[in-house]
Chain A
Amino acid sequence: MIADLTTRRLVICCGTGGVGKTTISAALALRLAQSGARTVVVTIDPARRLASALGMTGLSDEPRRVPADAVLGEGAGELWALQLDAKATFDRLVSRYAADEAARTRILENRIYRHLSGAVAGAQEYMAVERLHELVEDGDFECIVLDTPPATNALDFLDAPQRITRFIEGRALRLLLRPGAVAGGLGWKILHAGSGTVLGLLERLTGAQLLRDVSDFLAGFDGMYQGFADRATAVRTLLLSEQSAFLVIAAAEPDSLGQAVALSRRLTSDGFPLSGVVLNRVHALPGEPPAEQELADALAAAGAEDPGALARDAIAAIADERVLGLRDLDARAELHAAIRDGALIEVPSLAHEPVELPGIAEVAAALGP
């Protein structure tokens, strides 16, 4: 399955919380780089774990070269990594596309913009769309691997291009942009006469000032809207095309499995090209525990102080591993039943947490052919 991914422009890893999206994204990017492609792994999760997984001290909105020579091998491509910074992306966008200096200043100094571009939830997904578009357009990388936030927010990201276009093409924007439509102008009184207008109602909720600020903010982008809509459409087209591949990551925990299957179905029914499912952290199944007496005898011969108690605890330890091993066998069977042949990759639970490059390389090797 991995070999098939080398032909894609964009590989997107999604899944519920803590299943290994970031780890698998990093490992997959390493594999693609090993096979010769100049690759960048991008995280759009505001939590910054990609840097930790790669053992780097920090990542930024510009791609950084991952010092991976030791694990890349002969004839490999380069490996780069990037952490989305919504504010930096938005600022760049404004500088690049604003009609003139006045328009640029008007936006950058708007109070709504200053909050929105940095902190406000939701802006992240929009800027992820823009950043992805930039990366594709710049053409610096043959492969882009995308690490997403936990499932519900990942779906928000996948919906974002459509939300942007709908908003830009919809009536809400035109209403808010109509000169004088918002408090103060003559138009306002006329609108208010029918006191049932959407805008009139909105103002009752937000207060005149906030609505004026919003309107002003949106007006600042005048002339840039078509660009937003065009880029959003381009990203959506890419996400739906065969140039992209989606991987759903699952852990063997029972709740996670059900959610992974549901997510896979959702992606498929929405038309996204799903390549397969990665079942991560599969626990090995050890054999049956030994007879307590036999183990205690061996431990006594090795000088244990209380061989009986130690034998009991050791048997408890292996019994725990068996519970998880058996659970994961069932998980694997359940997934096999739900997913078509050849679309399932299993990654074992590694004895040492795969952080930093050697660990990521171990996961990369475990991804199979």
Chain B
Amino acid sequence: MLGKGGVGKSTVAAALALSTARAGGRALVVEVAGQQRLSQLFSAARVGDDEATELRPGLFGISIDAERATEEYLAGQLKIRPLVELLTHSKAFHTFAAAAPGLPELVTIGKIWSMAIALRPDGGAPVWDTVTVDCPATGHGIALLETAGNIEELAAGGPIRDQAARIQEVVSHPAATGIVIVARPQELAVAEAIEATATLRGHGLPVAAAVLNGVHPARFSASDAPPLRAVADAPGAVGEAARAALRHLEQQGDDTAYRTRLAGETGLPVIDLPRVVRRRIDLPALELLADALAQGLASAGAAA
């Protein structure tokens, strides 16, 4: 899930995982950079950073902390415990790791990759049916997705390059990875979605679909406008309700225009998710979004 700040990446990630889990699959949602949005959405305790926490039957969450992931990575690479400790306890290493641009992103995407390809010890089936990554907002989200490809090019050889290449193979393969661009029906979010899609494609990364989140329900049609306008000047509550209806009608029109523009300029299937008017998104609201998403994905798949 990639998109502008606040468009609903975390919400849509949770809804997607919920729809997998409700269909009997095992879904993992990955939060990065120490975010803790899942625990709010599912009113659960903190989501773990080393092992996945089960939030609902079949739905798990994990919140990757780059520093921890670095240590874990080193342990896997160096294998010899005392060597790992020497390195992680070294102040020199810490200043180096903290200052090295790209390192937190590399271990983060590396950990995601290892979870995505993990197989069960018994039958060899994948551990997770879907792994949904809740990326940081566009600018830093794209950097995360591009990291493996960049390191692959930058390192001439050696273990890091080989690992980056293996990660990049999965991240860039359209059968393995699908980047979903999330937008709101608003100018800035749609502009950013269009720009992000072009940038990702330019780097050979597979953008699969766009989600237009927070679409107003189609309550009114153009023929409702004249009577509503006639009543809008009425005093008190009657006029106020007519004005609210006209505002809603205008937003319906805006939503349609943004959908057309998003679909036209990206060529992506656009899945609408309804605007939920609640104080906060709770489980019933997430279930509603999960259903809308499953439906949208099914018809986008059918269209493709």
Contacts and interface: CB of A to CB of B under 8 A. Distances in A.
Interface in B80-101: 82-83, 86-87, 90-93, 95-96, 98-101
A255 B228 contact: no
B61 interface: no
Contacts of B90: 198
B74 interface: yes
B279 A323 contact: yes
Could you say which interface size class chain A belongs to? 35 or more
Interface in B167-204: 186-189, 191-192, 195-196
Contacts of B124: none
Contact of A49 (B146, B157, B192): B192
Contacts, number: 259
Interface stretch (A240-248, A298-306, A335-343): A298-306
Interface in A208-238: 208-210, 213
B242 interface: yes
Nearest to B232: A302
A290 B140 contact: no
B53 to A, nearest CB: 19
B6 A18 contact: yes
A53 B4 CA distance: 14
Interface string A110-123: 01100110011111
A126 interface: yes
A210 B150 contact: no
Nearest to A176: B96
B167 to A, nearest CB: 15
B223 interface: yes
Interface in B138-160: 138-140, 142-144, 146-147, 150, 153-160
B139 A45 contact: yes
B277 interface: yes
Contacts of A323: 277-279
Interface in B208-251: 219-220, 223-224, 226-228, 230-231, 234, 236-238, 240-242, 244-245, 247-248
A304 B227 contact: yes
A51 to B, nearest CB: 9
Interface string A2-25: 000000000000001111001000
Given A207-B159, A255-B280, A302-B226, A355 B187 contact: yes
A49 B189 CA distance: 9
A22 B101 contact: no
Contacts of A303: 226-227, 230
A303 B196 CA distance: 47
A152 B238 contact: no
A255 B227 contact: no
Nearest to A258: B40
Contacts of A298: 231, 234, 238, 242
Main secondary structure of the interface of B (DSSP, over half): helix
Interface in B51-108: 74, 77-78, 82-83, 86-87, 90-93, 95-96, 98-105
Nearest to B40: A255
A369 interface: no
A96 B95 CA distance: 27
A177 interface: no
Nearest to A46: B139
Nearest to B7: A18
B4 A49 contact: yes
A111 B279 CA distance: 51
Given A122-B102, A152-B35, A353 B186 contact: yes
B74 A205 contact: yes
How many B residues touch the partner, as a band? 35 or more
A316 B219 contact: yes
B206 interface: no
Most chain A CB neighbours (cut-off 10 Å) among B40, B146, B191: B191
Contacts of A121: 101-102, 104-105, 140, 143-144, 147
Interface string B265-289: 0000000000001111000000000
B137 interface: yes
Contacts of A324: 277
B150 A213 contact: no
A115 B161 contact: no
Contact of A112 (B5, B154, B195, B234): B154
Contacts of A196: 82-83, 86
A149 B137 contact: yes
B159 A205 contact: yes
B245 A289 contact: no
Interface string A172-190: 1101100000000000000
B126 interface: no
Contacts of A351: 247
B34 to A, nearest CB: 7
A47 B139 contact: yes
Given A166-B95, A208-B158, A323-B278, A201 B242 contact: no
B104 A314 contact: no
B110 interface: no
A93 interface: no
Contacts of B157: 207, 209-210
Contact of B188 (A53, A126, A153, A201): A53
B33 interface: yes
A163 B99 contact: yes
Contacts of A305: 223
A194 B161 CA distance: 26
21 contacts: A16-B5, A17-B5, A18-B7, A19-B5, A46-B139, A119-B143, A121-B140, A126-B101, A152-B33, A167-B96, A205-B74, A206-B160, A207-B156, A207-B159, A209-B156, A254-B280, A295-B238, A303-B227, A313-B224, A318-B241, A323-B278
Which 3 residue pairs spanning A and B have beta carbons closest together?
Answer: A207-B158, A18-B6, A17-B5
